[in-house]
Chains A and B, each alone.
Chain A
């Protein structure tokens, strides 16, 4: 495979940051493979998004504002991507490792008869072959795998693992033709956005997470949120806090929740059971505030402050606010 194709997941033109990380990565990989970097953006709001994507170092952005993409689940997107992949020729397809991305990636595996490397955090090109580095089993192992086929390969990309950088000569924005003769069965009757304006947990550069030690829902809003906000980050939680109903499950980090790898992870009142550890152990720096200095979290934190989180957090928030002022 020589070329790289980025699947741009978006809703009405609004896309997660990982799209730009992939656009930047695509250029680098395409150069090493000796091919071109493409992006495919389809559905309502695509033209507008393509305008933004143009400033990233891609060769071509293939666009169609086809509203049918939003009216039916998944399959129209897969048809567009398959058509683009066939037109471009042997290529590596990059897809964000998000809920929506995984669905697309799965169907493409069968559609393109291709291998997949999942949740990649780094790449190496060895003699024209793509090798991906992937943390597995909640970071208990770091695996490296190569895509063997010369035709097509799929890679899902972990958000926040690659940097996004605009630049380049300006991509050619061109229309992509709607695949002919297709009919779709799964109708989207209602599409509801929740928590818009808030940063996705997986994409946050800083995560401030709370656990059982916080004792209730209020400290998440009153103590954690202000600090997270100062950092431009997000609030997370342990399973205990989600199970207790203090926060929605969408904030849960760990085995049965989300996997995050922010630059900074602040764990407040979280004991650090395996269940939680696997969802955050690959974070850059880990700071824990806990009443118990012997809690499991001390084993994998860079700094543990033993004390009362209710007293420490407001003071810390003040210090950080002053430094940003």
Chain B
């Protein structure tokens, strides 16, 4: 079974993000590019499924990112993915959710798979709409927020989290799946994995390989960013030392009263 996992390369989410007031852009200097943390969970799920299914199952990592970020994919390979595909093209710059999903779906069709795992959310954009749009363009079922999955008699049996609890669903292969964080903590890359990753293949793909009918990139985008601003400044508030429980509670209560919150 061929499992493909899409990963996104994002600025390190653990770094404090700042907007440069002059350029109104995200300050990237000194911020490392990493695998989107949510996608590491999807990769973990793919590796678990590969181990469980066994046979000649493989895990391929797919990313759409500038070529300069290619080496960031080594981490996924070190965690245990067999190979990687990187879709890079200057013409993709400025793509919105629609364009990203449209281009990725066409590329993933070329890559081919039995099961596609897509990270549910990205740290930088957080629309959560990309997996659905990709599945739609691929004309395939979408099962999101999986916390358990198995292949039983050639079909997927999935336990998925919902807004009100959980569901057990059965989906055919091929399908598109996203994972919940409860699927399992991403594994660490072993030293052997890190050494081995250096020899694994990262294949290159460009827009020319896709034969898209509609323009992507900034020209084809269906949304346009008008403003990118830092949030309203939240000033440092007051700090009060509580002498005891009753006094501390009174301070909070008076404050809430003043704010008309009680």
Set of chain A residues within 8 Å of B89, measured between Cβ atoms? none
Bound Cα distance from A117 to B116, whole angstroms: 25
Known contacts A109-B132, A114-B222, A145-B226, A312 near B26 by CB under 8 Å: no
Taking each of B124, B143, B145, B245, which has the highest tally of chain A beta carbons within 10 Å of its own beta carbon? Answer: B245
Among A113, A114, A189, A196, contact of B168 (Cβ-Cβ < 8 Å) = A189
* A187-203 near B? 1/0 per residue, CB < 8 Å: 11111111110001000
Set of chain A residues within 8 Å of B65, measured between Cβ atoms? none
**Chain B CB within 8 A of A282 CB:** yes
Contact A102 B237, beta carbon cutoff 8 Å: no
**Chain A CB within 8 A of B188 CB:** no
**Chain A CB within 8 A of B80 CB:** no
Bound Cα distance from A319 to B225, whole angstroms: 47
Please name the residue on chain B nearest to A132 by beta carbon. Answer: B223
Please name the residue on chain A nearest to B10 by beta carbon. Answer: A137
Taking each of B98, B137, B143, which has the highest tally of chain A beta carbons within 10 Å of its own beta carbon? Answer: B98
Set of chain B residues within 8 Å of A282, measured between Cβ atoms? 231
**Chain A CB within 8 A of B68 CB:** no
Known contacts A73-B141, A107-B142, A312-B249, A298 near B239 by CB under 8 Å: yes
Q: Which residues of B162-196 have CB atoms within 8 Å of chain A's CB atoms?
A: 162-172, 175, 181-182
Contact A255 B13, beta carbon cutoff 8 Å: yes
Contact A308 B234, beta carbon cutoff 8 Å: no
Contact B171 A185, beta carbon cutoff 8 Å: yes
Q: Give the interface size class of chain B.
A: 35 or more
Interchain nearest-CB distance for A289 vs B (Å): 7
Interchain nearest-CB distance for A236 vs B (Å): 16
Contact B231 A110, beta carbon cutoff 8 Å: no
Bound Cα distance from A126 to B46, whole angstroms: 45
Interchain nearest-CB distance for B137 vs A (Å): 5
Set of chain A residues within 8 Å of B72, measured between Cβ atoms? none
Interchain nearest-CB distance for B29 vs A (Å): 16
**Chain A CB within 8 A of B130 CB:** yes
Interchain nearest-CB distance for A66 vs B (Å): 18
Q: Give the interface size class of chain A.
A: 35 or more
Contact B143 A73, beta carbon cutoff 8 Å: yes
Interchain nearest-CB distance for A300 vs B (Å): 5
Known contacts A106-B128, A145-B224, A255 near B98 by CB under 8 Å: no
Please name the residue on chain B nearest to A189 by beta carbon. Answer: B168
**Chain A CB within 8 A of B88 CB:** no
**Chain B CB within 8 A of A104 CB:** yes
Known contacts A142-B231, A143-B225, A136 near B248 by CB under 8 Å: no
Contact B165 A194, beta carbon cutoff 8 Å: yes
Contact B167 A191, beta carbon cutoff 8 Å: yes
Q: Which of B54-62, B198-206, B250-258 contacts A (4 or more CB under 8 A)?
A: B250-258
Interface residues, chain A, with chain B CB atoms under 8 Å away: 9, 11, 16, 73-75, 78, 97-100, 102-111, 113-119, 131, 135-149, 153-154, 156, 185-196, 200, 206, 249, 255-256, 263-264, 274-275, 281-282, 285-287, 289, 293, 298-308, 310-316, 318-320, 323-324
12 more A-B residue pairs beyond the given contacts A145-B225, A281-B234, A305-B242, with a C-beta to C-beta distance below 8 A:
A102-B127, A103-B144, A109-B129, A137-B17, A148-B221, A188-B169, A192-B166, A264-B261, A274-B14, A299-B236, A307-B243, A319-B253
Show 9 A/B contacts (Cβ-Cβ < 8 Å), sorted by A: A110-B98, A110-B105, A140-B231, A156-B127, A186-B143, A192-B166, A249-B182, A255-B37, A302-B255
